[in-house]
Chain A
């Protein structure tokens, strides 16, 4: 069982609300990632981090922002949620080497109404 946790698991919010999806890992991994996944579709990278104070945008354009103030914590924030943000958000982490496993959290299923 991977030591990476996401909260909340499910979230239903109204349009225009600000939300933060939490992701924490206790494995001391430097690399952390946020992916977005729609049903039946592949995962798309939206943000990643090499370590503390490092954040980069991924392949898929996203209106969300991230921060990495501590190694173990990589929260994702939406300033003003819209129905188009409805999706599953998956957080992952890995050690800082090439052929290393990436561990995924259980995901947050976000619904914006």
Chain B
């Protein structure tokens, strides 16, 4: 069964600190892995997208890693800001159909305190 599991479910950190969010998946055949940021009551916004051949990608203070062999990914946030408070969703796409079906994790709810 294709699944995407994220940990931790929620996380509270102080402003300025770093944090790392985890994603494990069983989606096969694998096409790509995406990290999205979703503010409360809004639609998800893409942070990074990585294919099989990429093992790291950065977007400002966000750095995503991918280990396609162990089917794990992480999202590292550096020097956190209050505006980083949001849900971070790991999404994996398969290549088993022309749709490129997206499988969503439940997200990690990050809260940054001043």
Contacts and interface: CB of A to CB of B under 8 A. Distances in A.
Interface in A29-55: 31, 40-45, 48, 50
A104 B45 contact: yes
Interface of B: 4, 31-32, 34, 36, 41-46, 49, 51, 89, 93, 95, 98-102, 104-107, 109
B42 to A, nearest CB: 6
Interface string A41-77: 1111100101000000000000000000000000000
Given A98-B32, A99-B51, A102-B102, A107 B46 contact: no
A99 B43 contact: no
A89 B93 CA distance: 20
A98 B95 contact: yes
A110 interface: no
A103 B51 contact: no
B46 A102 contact: yes
Contacts of A44: 104
Nearest to B48: A101
A18 to B, nearest CB: 25
Given A99-B49, A107-B42, A42 B107 contact: yes
Contacts of A85: none
Nearest to A9: B41
A101 B95 contact: no
Nearest to B39: A106
Contacts of A106: 42-43
Contacts of B49: 99, 101
Contact of A105 (B43, B99, B102): B43
Contacts of A2: 45
A40 B108 CA distance: 9
Given A50-B98, A98-B31, A99-B31, A42 B104 contact: yes
Contacts of B36: 104
A109 B31 contact: no
A106 B98 CA distance: 26
